[in-house]
Amino acid sequence: MTSLLTRPSSPAVTSAPPHRLRFGVMGYGYWGPNLARNVASCEQAVLIGIADLSAARLVAARSSHPLSVLTTDHRELLQDPSLDAVIVATPPETHRDLVIEALESGKHVLVEKPLATSTRDAEEMVRVARACDRALMVDHTFLFTGAVKKMKQYFVAGEVGEVYYYDSTRINLGLFQHEANVIWDLAPHDISIMLYLLGQPVRKVSAIGASHVDTNVENIAYITLQFDTPLLAHFHVNWLAPAKVRRTIIGGSKKMLVYDDAELDDKLRVYDSGAQLAASREAMYRTFVEYRTGDVLIPKLEKGEALAVEMKHFVNVIRGLEAPISGGELGIEVVRVIEAAQRSLRNAGAAVEVEA
């Protein structure tokens, strides 16, 4: 009787083939396990080690992954000269220091969103990445979903036309946090998607919210963005909603898109509804415009877990094969908008300029 393989610690396991990048994960809390799992299943990467302050979490990590390094001291990872990159999934307030330390240790970095808790920090991180010539990517996961990729194609092809409005709702019963309000928690998802799709600079931000549980932490907020065009963007984020809603409606002069991430299969609907509006303004008045004026298409979307797609992209960015989709610059812009929203929130909803 022969055994194919009986010892998991055989050299074949722990030493990655030369073409695989060697990754470490820092932070193994809520999101870290998902990142670690996707590194482990990425064909171009190998997961070498995990660092977390909690020994209990490391024990959990051990049962899921055959690892060389499990440590409560992240420096043990950073000092490993064979490590190519680290994924930072620690609390946002730690991002600045940890990411800069990793970059200066020569590691490429993929960091959990938001990039930082202030625009100043975010800009500094990007400067360090450039100085060290290392890749710095932000884990804006939704940019790697089939739905957002398909929407981007419509925008790139000019099929949406002039964008009239961008309306986003992301609400559910969620995790309450001490340090961050619902805007910091949820809005980065939608702000990053919007910036990616539209590519227009935000000029003014107003935000209004309310705190029903903790007087200092808003659990519901509405954010409105203004641009150089009549485009109006609006975001509803809410931790206290009874049902999960994750819907974005994009009204364009040519097509309208409805992106419903809570749908299992039909996440994106494309409405042939805008064209006639542009034709003649007078014709519309006193005319009852039908609910839907054309066909609706539910396009086939690329399958696959977004994190897996993102991990492959990160590998390609490190190797210089692709430009980063969610690089440091996009990360800065997201933080800049969120920061402006915070200022408006503290100022009773008054519109504030986005500082360049």
Residues 156-195 interacting with its own copies (rule: CB under 8 A): 164-165, 167, 171-178
Dihedrals phi, psi of 82, to nearest 5 degrees: -80, -10
Beta bridge pairs of residue 352: 205
Single out the segment in contact with its own copies by CB under 8 A; choices: 67-75, 93-101, 119-127, 316-324: 67-75
Give, rounded to a whole angstrom, the gap between the first and last alpha carbons of the chain. 70
Selected binder of its own copies within 185, 271, 307, 331 (CB under 8 A)? 271
At residue 13, φ and ψ (nearest 5 deg) are -85, -50
**Among the listed residues 144, 154, 184, 222, the single contact to its own copies using CB under 8 A:** 222
Instruction: Return the number of the residue (77 or 306) whose C-beta is nearest its own copies.
Output: 77
Binding window for its own copies (CB under 8 A); candidates: 85-93, 132-140, 189-197, 244-252: 244-252
Q: Containing H/E element for 241?
A: strand 240-252
Among 158, 216, 287, 323, binds its own copies (CB under 8 A): 287
Q: Which of 123, 51, 62 is nearest to 87 (CA)?
A: 51
Near its own copies in 27-56, by CB under 8 A: 30, 40-41, 55
> Which residue from 75, 120, 127, 346 is in contact with its own copies, where contact means CB under 8 A?
75
CA 212/CA 221 separation, integer angstroms? 12
Strand duo 108-112 + 85-88: pairing: parallel
Q: What is the dihedral of CA 142, 126, 25, 144, to 10 degrees?
A: 20
Torsion of the alpha carbons at 213, 215, 216 and 221, rounded to the nearest 10: 60
Residue whose C-alpha is closest to residue 172's, from 236, 89, 78: 236
Which residue from 155, 249, 254, 319 is in contact with its own copies, where contact means CB under 8 A? 249
Binding segment (CB under 8 A) for its own copies, from list 93-101, 113-121, 261-269, 324-332: 261-269
Binders of its own copies in range 130-159 (CB under 8 A): none
Which letter does DSSP use for residue 219 in this model?
S
Q: 240 forms bridges with which residues in the sheet?
A: 173
Site membership for its own copies, residue 87 (CB under 8 A) = no
Distance CA 263, CA 205 (A): 30
String of contacts with its own copies for each residue 3-22, x by CB under 8 A: xxxxxxx---x---------
Q: Judged by CB under 8 A, does residue 118 bind its own copies?
A: no
Q: In the range 303-322, which residues lie near its own copies by CB under 8 A?
A: 303
Please tell me the count of residues contacting its own copies according to CB under 8 A.
100
Does 350 participate in binding its own copies (rule CB under 8 A)? yes
Report how far residue 337's alpha carbon sits from residue 189's, in angstroms, rounded to the nearest whole number.
12
Tokens representing 269? 């609907």
Q: Which is nearer to its own copies, 106 or 349 (CB)?
A: 349
Structure tokens at 24: 């470490």
300 binds its own copies, rule: CB under 8 A: yes
| Candidates 138-146, 279-287, 318-326, 327-335; binding stretch for its own copies (CB under 8 A) | 279-287
Nearest distance, CB of residue 199 and its own copies, angstroms: 19
Residue from 26, 45, 67, 111 in contact with its own copies (CB under 8 A): 67
